[in-house]
Amino acid sequence: MPFDKFGDTVRALFVQGTPIIGICAAGILIRTLAPVLSDKRAEPPVIAVAEDGSAVVPLLGGLTGANDLATAIARALDITAAVTATGQLRFNVVLEAPPSGYRLANPDHAKSFTSDLLAGATVKLVGEAPWLSQSNLPFSVDGTHTIEVTDHPATGSATHLVYHPVALPVVTVTQGKLAIVGTGPGAARWMSPEVNTILRSATDFVGYKTYLDLVKDFTHGKQCHESDNRVEIDRARQALDLAAEGRSVVLVSSGDPGIYAMATAVFEVIDREANPEWQAIEIQVTPGISAMQAAAAAVGAPLGHDFCAISLSDILKPWSMIEQRIVAAAQADFVIAFYNPVSTQRTWQLDAAKTVLQQWRSPSTPVVLARNLGRPGQTVQVIPLGQLTAAHADMRTVLLIGSSKTRTIQRPDGSVWVYTPRTYQP
């Protein structure tokens, strides 16, 4: 397929995990991809081939098959690939990247394990794996190190490899992972590269159906544990239980996972239930762009001075407490982001919030109404507080209420910029 934006196209393919063979100078690929290099375990093969077919250089993706691919291309061109990966050269295998059907029980040990072998350690193989026995690894029956090959204890689906740095009694250790990620408000361009990498390597997806739909490009062939369940604690428990079985689980929230989202539910359930089976799980929380940030960016800089966020949902806290917080925030002259403003069941809360706000803010205070940010049907409107009604918002809307200092600037197209000055003169 022809394309004209070389850099953007190559970077987009790389981030999606597509193997790249460039018939061009290695330097062009290096400079193009430098800004998007992040995780060597997930990056696709990137190979430079000299335009006259005289050289093949695997540049990236040594753990995802770049050396084998370069060797295959070189064979077709009747030359030798410029393989520089030490483990591959010495042992003819990359322990960090076993072939499909094998899974590393402790991937974090693989690199130091290889370094030990390069430094002279020997290895005893327990169990069977033809790709290992056919390699040039320094095997010895009384090896200082052991590689154990077992069936996966939880699923039986993939053969399991355990690298023991010293000869240990044969035990299978499975450490599951739970990544709690935020995908941003909607569009792929607002998802961080780190989240993208995690979504690509996960085995199991847990989340509210709407959020799993937002990441469906990543879930092909993976286990999806969708829920319509509003009980977030149950979802958190399910994700932890799957990780305890040794699976690589990703719990998906929109926006940021720590802002009115699943990360908190996970820590609540861990704290409350203290289940010992969850102790070995490697938990990671990965940030995302929250709805209020995307809303602010769409209209200028309304969060440019002190601000706060308040959820108008009274499912988990009583309305009296929410009302008290709105009073305190209004009195303190914060810009306020309202999350969960209106739902089919909760229809009066936004009107009640407006009544409270009007005691402290003038009716001309700018209010940003941002709906479906980054998703199809995005709308962003700025109206004066005096005109705000519950009909302006729903579950997919976030509101930003200006402080007494928030200002608007007319734009040539009739819309306005909104900003809150950094200085605070009365």
Q: How far lies 67's CA from each of 7, 31, 72, 116, in Å?
A: 24, 21, 9, 21
Q: How many angstroms from the chain centroid is the CA of residue 348?
A: 35
Q: How far is the CB of 256 from ligand SAH (least distance, A)?
A: 4
Residue with Cβ nearer ligand SAH (89 or 231): 231
Q: How far is the CB of 300 from ligand SAH (least distance, A)?
A: 17
Q: How far lies 82's CA from each of 19, 26, 340, in Å?
A: 18, 12, 56
Which residue spans within 143-245 are E strands per DSSP?
145-151, 159-164, 177-182, 204-208, 223-227
Burial (CB count within 10 angstroms: exposed 0-12, middle 13-18, buried 19+), residue 204: buried
Residue with Cβ nearer ligand SAH (134 or 284): 284
Q: How far is the CB of 331 from ligand SAH (least distance, A)?
A: 23
Q: How far is the CB of 237 from ligand SAH (least distance, A)?
A: 19
Please give the single-letter amino acid code of residue 269.
Answer: V
107-144 CB burial, b ≥16 within 10 A, e <16: bebbeebbebbeeebbbbbebebeebeebebbeeeebb
**Site of interaction with ligand SAH (CB under 6 A):** 182, 185-186, 253-256, 259-261, 290-291, 339-341, 370-375, 395-398
Residue with Cβ nearer ligand SAH (164 or 371): 371
Residue with Cβ nearer ligand SAH (62 or 255): 255
Beta bridge partners of 164: 146
Q: How far is the CB of 188 from ligand SAH (least distance, A)?
A: 13
Residue closest to ligand SAH when measured from CB atoms: 255
Residue with Cβ nearer ligand SAH (43 or 256): 256
Residue with Cβ nearer ligand SAH (117 or 370): 370
Q: How far is the CB of 24 from ligand SAH (least distance, A)?
A: 39
Helix spans in 288-336 (H)? 291-299, 319-331
| Dmax (CA) of the chain | 82
CB-based contact 46:60 (threshold 8 Å): yes
